[in-house]
Amino acid sequence: MNSGDCCRPFSEEELRNNAPQVVTCNEYHREVSVTQNIAGKHIDRVFTFDKVFGPNAQQKDLYEQAVIPIVNEVLEGFNCTIFAYGQTGTGKTYTMEGECKRSKSGPNGELPPEAGVIPRAIKQIFDTLESQNAEYSVKVTFLELYNEEITDLLAPEEISKVALEDKQKKQLPLMEDGKGGVLVRGLEEEIVTSASEIFTLLERGSAKRRTAETLLNKQSRETTPEGEELIKCGKLNLVDLAGSENISRSGAREGRAREAGEINKSLLTLGRVINALVEHLGHIPYRDSKLTRLLRDSLGGRTKTCIIATVSPAVHCLEETLSTLDYAHRAKNIKNKPEVNQKMMKSTLIKDLYGEIERLKAGKLLLSLAMADQIEQMGMTIENHQKQIEELQAKYDYQVQQCFDLGNKLDATQKDLNLTSKLLANSEDNLKQCQFSLKERDFIISEQKKAAREDKLNADNRLTVNSFQTVLSQQLLTLCSSLGASVSRQNEHLQCVENLCNSFLQLHDKASVELKQKVNSSRALYVSHFEAVQNVVRLHKAGSNAALEELSALTSSNSQSIEEFLSAEANEAKKVLDDLQETLTSQQGEMAHLARELRQRFHASIEHLMNTSESVHGFLDKLFKESKRLECHATQVDEIQTKCIAEFRKAYEEQSRSEAEKLIADMTSLVSDCMRRQKEMVDAKLDDLSDSATGNKLFLDGYVSTIDGITTDLKRKWQDSFMQTESNFKDNADFSAAKHCRMELFLQKCVNSADTALGRWQRTKESLNDMGNQHASTIGSHVRNMWYNNEQHDAEIESAKVMVEDDIKENSEDLIRWFDGLSKQEKLSVSKILATSRTHSETLENLGSDHSQQVASIEQHAVDTFRRKYMDYEPTGTTPVRCESDIPSKGTIESLRAMPMDALQEEFRENNSYESFHVKEPKPSLIPRAPLSQIN
């Protein structure tokens, strides 16, 4: 099955409402995409069809692209169906029929651009058939399927009128054609020879349409121009379906709902059939609706079918659009098996046609017989009607006669009525007169009976007065007793109120006194607390001040002691260094002196030895030995010196590593030890030397004589050795001097490092001093700030205290004043209440007494009044009491007499006019009745 989608442009209303577009058509890709907004997301659903026509597509485009091939196939002998499916108002009818009328078509039978599929297909068929110059015949059927009822839209008017009555009983039925197809029995088939004929038929048929599905069926038979015997036969079904919307959304009600339901039945069955075909189900429910029965061959059969789905681009049709597209998309999957209709032999066709003519003839005969019957029946009906008319005419005449009689009667009655009216007026007048005179009589009688009535009235009144007096006195007694009870109750209540007021006042006084006491005590408590707080603050302040002072003193003493300590340390170090310097200088001098002395003594002894060598050359060996020993001593001295220097160096190195004071002290002690030891050694050696020299001299003296012989040799040897010794001594002295110099150098270095250490120390001391001073000044400023803050806090607390005290004093005074005022007011109010209650009770008492007096007086007055008015005698006394009643004057008594008849009549007539016969407001009597009226 082919399926195409056709999206109409926005309607004017949609444009007016600015309806958003949700359908977009891609004609090139043959896609329709529908944009849905689900949970704030745009989701596009895309449907692909065989052809897609967007809002700008023209009728011509659709026809050319989608329908021409189908019509061509019809002309080739295929059966084809085109149906439009879609929501109401989406353009199904527009697509199928278009918006053209025949009158609008062009001069050469050209169709206007808005012409739809049907007129274009008709035109194409006839154009093609005519252009082929072939014999052809075209038959048209046009039916409407509405509420599952089939209407023949081509049925002739007169017959359809008759059929209209029949329709109530019998619809056009569907029947199987025996070849798997379905026929509509009795459906009119029009043979047409031109397109314009079809247009006329369509126009006529369209006028009869109600709505819903219409199905146009064109059958064309064609013989080829060459006059072959074979005839091609194709059928084109054009279907305009009803709106596809759901019944619940169609808004149909009652009768319309049934319609919609039936329409829906067709469409629903169509949907089910499509589904069953798509899903290749075993059972296809064609028989469930007439539409599917009619289109059976088009749905999965041998007919080529094209479904045109029409949609609206607007968002409000979104749901239906999706449903339509889904429907058409599913339908696309139906696979029909188109077959060319069997080509008929021309002779067979002629035979068929003859058969049909016979059938038609038979039908015509039957029809004429039926018509004769009908005519006969109608004649009888006319006769009946004639008789009925005659009867009716007779009835009418009778009625007219009756009307005439009734008119006469009416006139007579009218005259009677006038007469009766006059009589009635007279009677009424008489009645009025009678009534008037009756009234008059009544008045006269009543006037005349007045005196007698008065006596009776007096007796009645007396009785009434007596009974009234007893009732009144009883009621007054009850009233007095209830009033007295009420007064006593009210007095009690007032007493209660007074007592309550008094107790309330007492309680209030007590409470206010207690409150005052409490306010005073709380004030005192507050003041004492505040003072305690203040004391604590003062204590805290004093403590912090003392601590601050102590801190500042401690800081200054600390800095001072540090300074002192540092300066003492520096002085000591300086002193040690000076001592060291001095010791070193003296050591240096002493060493130089010692060395000089040593050299001098050595030279002197050498000279002495040389002077005495000749005499003591025997001892030269010994001297030589001694010199050797001296040399050994010198070596020892050197060794000691070396050791001393090494120790000094060591000490120096240690000194450079450790504290300067210790090093200097060590060095000083070392140097002094060394010097002492050298001196001791030198002294010892000098002693030894003089001792040995003495011994040697003695030895030499003792052995001079013995060693003369060898003296010369020895002398030479001695000189040599002496020279050698001298040179050695010189060398030693030089070495010693060099060592000394080095030692001096070391000493100098030591002094320099001591100076550097001293400088560093002084700098350290200065920086320490600075730091100390800085810290001291910072601490001092902190202390000052704290002091200042404390002072400020103190002042603030003091001012706050004063303020709070003032406030409290003021508030408590206010409170007390307010309480005083309140209690005064209350007292005033209570006293007012008391006064009021007293006044009230007095008033009540007065009221009670007044009331009883008044009751008595009322009673008396009432009794008097009644007596005065109605009684001639005292009600109970046996002896008649003189009554103080006014004795009417003679005139009054005269007036009490009944008036003469004439006067009474005159008076009555004056008060009552005869005309109006209404009793007028009585005029005051002409007769003076002043005393009586006063009494009455």
Ligand X SMILES: Nc1ncnc2c1ncn2[C@@H]1O[C@H](COP(=O)(O)OP(=O)(O)OP(=O)(O)O)[C@@H](O)[C@H]1O
Binding-site residues from annotation for ATP: 86-93
Residue set of the binding site: 86-93
DSSP for 689-722, please give it: HHHHHHHHHHHHHHHHTTTSHHHHHHHHHHHHHH
Tell whether residue 91 is a contact of ligand X (CB under 6 A).
yes
Of 27-35, 91-99, 261-269, 516-524: span binding ligand X (CB under 6 A): 91-99
Site string for ligand X, 280-319 (x = CB under 6 A): ------------------------------x---------
User: Which string of DSSP letters, residue by residue, matches 332-395?
Assistant: HT------BPPPEEHHHHHHHHHHHHHHHHHHHHHHHHHHHHHHHHHHHHHHHHHHHHHHHHHH
Give the nearest distance from C-beta 238 to ligand X in angstroms: 13
Interacting positions 365-384 with ligand X (CB under 6 A): none
Q: Tell me if 119 contacts ligand X by CB under 6 A.
A: no
Residue found by looking up tokens 């102590």 in the block: 550
Closest CB to ligand X among 89 and 181?
89
Contact window for ligand X (CB under 6 A) among 7-15, 230-238, 392-400, 700-708: 7-15
Q: How far apart are CA 696 and CA 478, in angstroms?
A: 184
Burial of residue 67 (CB within 10 Å: 0-12, 13-18, 19+) is: buried
Cα angle 808, 810, 816 (rounded to 5 degrees) comes to 95
Q: Which stretch binds ligand X (CB under 6 A): 6-14, 133-141, 412-420, 698-706?
A: 6-14
**Distance, C-alpha 647 to centroid of its chain:** 97
Note whether 888 binds ligand X by CB under 6 A: no
Q: Can you tell me the distance from the alpha carbon of 410 to that of 415, in angstroms, rounded to the nearest whole number?
A: 9
Calculate the dihedral angle through the C-alpha atoms of 813, 816, 817, 820, rounding to the nearest 10 degrees: -160
Of the residues 4, 77, 86, 772, which one makes contact with ligand X according to CB under 6 A = 86
In the complex, what is the shortest distance from the CB of residue 304 to ligand X, in angstroms, rounded to a whole number? 23
Q: Closest distance between ligand X and the C-beta of residue 155, in Å?
A: 22
Q: Which of these, 524, 521, 671, 457, lies nearest to 585 by C-alpha position? A: 671
| Least distance CB 3 / ligand X (angstroms) | 17
The size of the interface with ligand X (CB under 6 A), counted in residues, is 14
- If one asks whether residue 89 binds ligand X (CB under 6 A), the answer comes out as yes
Stretch that binds ligand X, among 93-101, 174-182, 215-223, 733-741 (CB under 6 A): 93-101
Looking at residue 671, its amino acid is V
The Cα–Cα gap between 153 and 143 comes to 5
Give the nearest distance from C-beta 53 to ligand X in angstroms: 8
Q: Give CA–CA dist 580/313, Å, rounded.
A: 118
- Candidates 176, 174, 276, 256; CA nearest to 211 is 256
Per-position x/- string for 233-262, each x denoting binding to ligand X as judged by CB under 6 A, each - no binding: ----------x-------------------
Name the closest residue to ligand X (Cβ): 91
Which residues have a Cβ under 8 Å from the Cβ of 700 and sit 6 or more positions away?
615, 616, 618, 619, 622
88 near ligand X (CB under 6 A): yes
Which residue of 63, 94, 327, 602 would you call a contact of ligand X, by CB under 6 A?
Answer: 94
Q: Is 206 in the site for ligand X (CB under 6 A)?
A: no
**Gyration radius of the chain's alpha carbons:** 81
Question: Does 83 interact with ligand X (rule: CB under 6 A)?
Answer: no
Distance of CA 630 to the CA centre of its chain: 121
**90, 220, 266, 341: residue in contact with ligand X (rule CB under 6 A):** 90
Per-residue binder mask for ligand X (CB under 6 A), 43-82, x = binder? ----------------------------------------
The residue range among 84-92, 200-208, 337-345, 562-570 that interacts with ligand X, by the rule CB under 6 A, is: 84-92
Contacts (Cβ under 8 Å, ≥6 apart) of 45: 33, 34, 36, 322, 325
- What are the tokens at 782? 């902190």
Q: How far is the CB of 327 from ligand X (least distance, A)?
A: 14
Nearer to ligand X, 237 or 312 (CB): 312
Minimum Å distance from CB 54 to ligand X? 9
Quick one: which segment of 88-96, 263-271, 588-596, 896-904 binds ligand X (CB under 6 A)?
88-96
Choose the binding region for ligand X from 5-13, 175-183, 711-719, 879-887 (rule: CB under 6 A). Answer: 5-13
Q: Is 8 near ligand X (CB under 6 A)?
A: yes
Burial class (CB in 10 A: 0-12, 13-18, 19+), 48: middle
Question: Tokens 């829906």 correspond to what residue?
Answer: 264
CB of 219 vs ligand X, minimal distance in Å: 25
Least gap, CB of 90 to ligand X (angstroms): 5
Question: Quick check: 136 and 221 in contact, CB under 8 A?
Answer: yes
Residue from the set 99, 228, 428, 492 that interacts with ligand X by CB under 6 A? 99
Task: Quote the DSSP letter at residue 190.
Answer: E
Q: Identify which of residues 59 and 711 has a Cβ nearer to ligand X in the complex.
A: 59
CB of 213 to ligand X, least distance (A): 10
Report angle CA 190, 192, 196 to the nearest 5 degrees: 120
Interatomic CA distance for residues 53 and 61, integer angstroms = 8
Smallest distance from the beta carbon of 230 to ligand X, in angstroms? 40
Chain residues in the site for ligand X (CB under 6 A): 8-9, 11, 86, 88-94, 99, 243, 310
